A and B are shown apart, each in its own frame.
Chain A
Amino acid sequence: MIHLLWLIPTLPFLGALTLVLAGSSLPRRIAAIIGCGSIGLAALITLLIGYEFLTTHTRAYHDVAWSWFAVADLSVGFSFHLDALSLVFLFVITFVGFLIHLYSVGFMHDDEGFTRFFAYLNLFVCAMLLLVLADNLVLLYLGWEGVGLCSYLLIGFWYDEEKNGYAARKAFIMTRVGDTALAIGLFMLFGVFHTLDIQEILTKAPQLWSPGSQTATLIAFLLLGGAVGKSAQLPLQSWLPDAMAGPSPVSALIHAATMVTAGVYLIARMHGIYELAPLAQLWVGIIGAITLLIAGCSALTQNDLKRVLAYSTISQIGYMFLALGIGAWSAAVFHFMIHAFFKALLFLAAGTVIWALHHEHDMFNMGGLRKRMPVVYWTFLTGAGSLAAIPLVTAGFYSKDQILWLAWGGAQGNLWFFVAALTGAFITSVYTFRMVFVTFFGEEKTHVGHHPGRLMNVPLIVLAVLSLAGGLIELPHTLGHVTLMSDLLGPVLPSTVLRAGAESSEIVIQLIAATVALSGVLLAYILYIVKPAVADDIKSSCYEVHRLWYAGWRFDDLYNVLIVRPFVWLSQINKHDVIDRFYAGLVAGTEYFGRTFARTQTGVLRWYIMGITAGAVLILALSLVINP
């Protein structure tokens, strides 16, 4: 079964190809079948391969599709590498991807770009699968850029709107800034190792570098640059909220579950280098910590339902980066998986709400949907609970708790990280339940237009179940002690070392985390259900702060002033190419001299004779002077 690995990315690719070639001439039903079927089959094969992988205790499976290119000592294959890490990603991509495809059939049903949508979506899944399956960094880069392209196409899917196109370009260009760093990192890696094969690099790195080596640190920072761009972390985070211009399934699949976590994958994949570059790894944690705080603050102030979720995604990925930064590799991957479940769920549910209310994005215009849309309400509540890490029942609690615990108790953890993560957790549960209370409670402000059909409800329910039960595969010592996830990842990612003497405090940390999460919910309840006036008071008394947070800490303005405007200005003033002026000047000079000398040709014969005489006299005189 495992030799069918190549089929997993191939199927979505064929799906995309068929849909592109057939174009809009294809009936919707068939387009939907091709679009969902290819991913469905890929998900099925993933399950089968995963089963075989687990039962036969394979450590890694390697498959070369073909040799891509080979020059001198560089040899790059179009080849796949399957291990526990890629398997987890594979599972999330195909399975969540499939559910989102199903949902899209209902969601996009009346859109005229139906076929195009599924073509892009399939292409995206293909690229994402290549990214996580790549055995070398060049193929990874292919997937990396491929998902960037699809993200661009899907954000700008409704291209009639100028601002959607703008958001799409912003996303592509900002991630490409990160990609530049990544590419330079690849050049450096090749300069050192003369290979771009990931496993080879990871084996050779400890032999070549001692911990703290300068080159290793530089490379680790460059890779981090790529990861930061793709995963919307500080300082390249500001594209993600705008990316919400795309259809909701796109936000769910690309900008929550899969693509934005590519940075997490990259760092986890190259963990060997970060272990040799403690400084860079520390910065991964610092970036994660800061990002999760500032994005959380921004999420508190948003009114657009999807923008809240977008900032929340940035913040949650910040948690994953924090986990990576403290060497809690498997905790990061665990949180990635759970986050994929509940965030996809939240986006899909939010998409349903927006769809049902005729594209109303502002949640303060919603309200009272609890009764009108019960399925959406309950599933959304589940997702929200998971996001806010409601203790014991939700999967989000287990995954986030692990990070909180290791931020405190891990050998690389420290008080600052712990405080940041804890504050973040509080903020998270406040904005999450603010969202729930404002949207689903209170009185109804907009009439529900459509009611979602089964195609849209089933994915929600499945994801809701996963957001609850998903946590059961990894339970802390204090509560059942299940370690399926970390056991699975054990052969690939090193386990986290605990600080000496910290073991006993685990239960305390958990209690603190649970209290914080619940108190956040309570605060949201007070502010948005019991005394809404207080919330408005706070808002108006901290107007400036509110505005700053609402605008995402004004990073966009900063980049506009620092980069975008100078670039456009430079480009505009030089539109007619200043270098051409030089040549134009040359031409003008030549013409001027030509005209000047042409004036001596008067046409008067006697002037010419005069000239000849004067010339002859001059030459004679000169010859006398020079050669007497």
Chain B
Amino acid sequence: METIAVEYGLVLAGTLFALGLISVLVRRNVIFMLISVEIMLNAAGLAFIVAGARWGQADGQVMFIFIVTMAAAEVSVGLALILQIYHQLKTLDSDAADKMKG
């Protein structure tokens, strides 16, 4: 069976993670920020898969399933929060939610 070098997989995961991070930082729309977080989570999951394949262990896949589960939970909570923010502020701009300013 032909294998792809680990490096490629990790570079892909890193790129995805960086893209996600950048868009979290750049985007002001909360929904897009949530999506970006999802991308970052999946990037981390991909890294786990790659690592698991490299060492030939099941741990990587276990962790991926764990991350997917967690992401689902996170999205549900996150969406609920977004709904609330929209209700309160009538906008999805994250910068508008700066009530905790010191």
Contact = CB atoms under 8 A, between A and B. Distances in A.
Q: Do chains A and B touch in the complex (CB under 8 A)?
A: yes
Interface of A: 597-606, 609-610, 613
A610 B27 CA distance: 12
Contacts of A609: 21, 24-25
A604 B25 CA distance: 11
B89 to A, nearest CB: 13
A602 B98 contact: yes
B95 A606 contact: yes
Interface in B24-70: 24-25, 28, 33
A600 B102 CA distance: 7
A105 B94 CA distance: 96
A363 to B, nearest CB: 82
A603 B98 contact: yes
B101 interface: yes
B102 A601 contact: yes
Contacts of A605: 33, 94-95, 97
B94 A602 contact: no
B94 A606 contact: yes
B98 A610 contact: no
Nearest to B27: A606
A598 B95 contact: no
A328 B72 CA distance: 114
28 contacts: A597-B102, A598-B102, A599-B102, A600-B102, A601-B100, A601-B101, A601-B102, A602-B98, A603-B97, A603-B98, A603-B99, A603-B100, A603-B101, A603-B102, A604-B94, A604-B95, A604-B98, A605-B33, A605-B94, A606-B24, A606-B25, A606-B28, A606-B94, A606-B95, A609-B21, A609-B24, A609-B25, A613-B25
A589 B50 CA distance: 53
A604 B102 CA distance: 11
A603 B28 CA distance: 13
A604 B94 CA distance: 7
Nearest to B22: A613
Contacts of A597: 102
Contacts of B95: 604-606
Q: Which of A602, A605, A610 has the most CB of B within 10 A?
A: A605
A600 B21 CA distance: 21
A598 B21 CA distance: 26
Contacts of A610: 25
Contacts of A604: 94-95, 98
Contacts of A606: 24-25, 28, 94-95
A613 B102 contact: no
3 interchain residue pairs of minimum CB distance = A603-B98, A601-B102, A603-B101
Contacts of A601: 100-102
A602 to B, nearest CB: 6
A530 to B, nearest CB: 97
Contacts of B99: 603
Nearest to A605: B94
A601 B99 CA distance: 10
Nearest to A597: B102
Contacts of B25: 606, 609-610, 613
A598 B102 CA distance: 5
Nearest to B21: A613
Interface string B63-102: 0000000000000000000000000000000110111111
B86 to A, nearest CB: 15
A597 B94 CA distance: 22
Q: Which of A597, A601, A609, A613 has the most CB of B within 10 A?
A: A609
A616 to B, nearest CB: 10
A602 B101 contact: yes
